[in-house]
Structure 1
């Protein structure tokens, strides 16, 4: 058997991020790895789904927050097309709630962008081999809140409006609910997040990735 015949096939990687310089940097990093090949790039979720369908990469690196179709929506769409697709989230957001959403959508791992140079290559190999991978910050956040009662979708929507500065009366009008319902939901939100005021609730929600600012 020749040496060429015994060579392991390269891991084909699709890079999805809305920042061109970051995509360029990651693709340059992959070029330096003998066992990897950057086969394509995309700048948003919709393009990511199209590129995945066209290229069928072994691993997709996926940003979370992008205009239009976001990363979580793209992960779900790709996994619907290919249930065994290996997708590694690469983001700046360390919140446990954001990580849980991505994992539920079908992500194989969650890595912060500040870990790119030290952990990305090994993480790609890990998810390609069928393993889950998290950077230490994400693993710690997931463990810290593992037993917390999660917020439901309506509570998250209310939190988003709190973060925008809306009063209970304004939130009730926006969501077409009674003020008493909003008051009860805000009380439950405070209990779940272990906070005592609206400002702190919004801060914790952003930090954990429940809402965006």
Structure 2
């Protein structure tokens, strides 16, 4: 009997940092069972090239220009429900993990993950498995215990982080100051904050907003 030839895992890599992207592609192409069939540097191209090539595994950075990683995952999964996508990020906040997995990613890897582990996860995901490191799972569990902000609350929080007072927020969102106060109160309750500054700090630490 002839030895069985391993299946080649076709991979799309999307990352807007050239050093990270090129390095990862070189490592993957050096594996006998892997081949990078597309390398892009923004979320929109990731969606387009996924549609064209339909890779076995897609590795997406969460923070990309044009279309974010989470939005790209959402749109790809809407069109290809069984898409196997790995989030690849320098961030390890509960919010990033939660949003990415909720969008349909199968795994979450930090960019400082050892190469051997990255290769193992790609092979596992290509076979339909999920992967979240223990320390990441802990952050995810903590995030799932916290109530989500509404879209309006997120808008108010973002403007709070920019130093805007209630009157300025009301003007920008075209709502009343009393409505702003209502949303600010809800934001502080959901984030377990004692005041506006504490709410912004907590939101930054948890990855809910970014400067």
TM-score over 0.5 (shorter chain): yes
Gaps of 5+ in 1: none
Q: CA deviation at 1:54?
A: 1.8
- What is the SS of the residue equivalent to 1:145? helix
How big is each residue's C-alpha offset from its partner over 1:38-81, in whole Å with a ceiling of 9 and x where there is no partner?
11101001111111122211000001111111111111121122
Partner of 1:75: 73
Instruction: Point out where structure 2 has 5 or more consecutive residues left out of the alignment.
Output: none
Aligned residue for 2:174?
Answer: 176
User: Equivalents in 2 of 1:123, 1:206: separation in Å?
Assistant: 29
Aligned equivalent of 2:7, options 1, 9, 17: 9
Distance 1:199 1:140 in 2: 26
How much does 1:135 deviate?
2.6
Is 1:208 equivalent to 2:189 in the alignment?
A: no
Following the alignment from structure 2 to structure 1, what is the Cα–Cα distance between the partners of residues 156 and 25?
40
1:44 aligns to what? Answer: 42
Check whether the contact 2:87–2:107 (CA below 8 A) recurs between aligned residues.
yes
Deviation at 1:197, TM superposition (A): 2.1
Rounded Cα–Cα distance in structure 2 between residues aligned with 1:116 and 1:202 = 33
**1:62 to 2:60 alignment:** yes
The equivalent position to 2:91 in structure 1, one of 67, 70, 93, is 93
What root-mean-square deviation, in Å, do the aligned CA atoms of Structure 1 and Structure 2 show? Answer: 1.5
Whether the 8 Å CA contact 1:58–1:128 is kept in 2: the answer is yes
Q: What's the CA shift for 1:99?
A: 1.7
Q: Does structure 2 retain, via aligned residues, the 8 Å contact 1:112–1:135?
A: no
Aligned to 1:199: 197
- Deviation readout 1:105-150 (Å, 9 max, x if unpaired): 2111111112153521121122112122113332111122322212
Q: Is the 8 A contact 2:98 2:143 kept in 1?
A: no
What are the Cα deviations for residues 167-192 of structure 1, in whole angstroms up to 9, with x where unaligned? 11111111111111111111111111
* Normalised TM-score (structure 2): 0.94
Q: Report matched runs for 1:133-152 at 5 Å.
A: 133-152=131-150
C-alpha separation between the residues in 2 aligned to 1:96 and 1:17? 21
Q: Is this contact kept in 1: 2:42–2:64, CA < 8 A?
A: yes
Partners of 1:210 and 1:202 lie apart in 2 by: 9
Q: Distance in 1 between matches of 2:127 and 2:47?
A: 22
Contact 2:98 2:144 in 1 (8 A): no
- Tell me how far apart the structure 2 counterparts of residues 198 and 126 of structure 1 sit (CA, whole Å): 44
Tell me the equivalent position of 2:128: 130
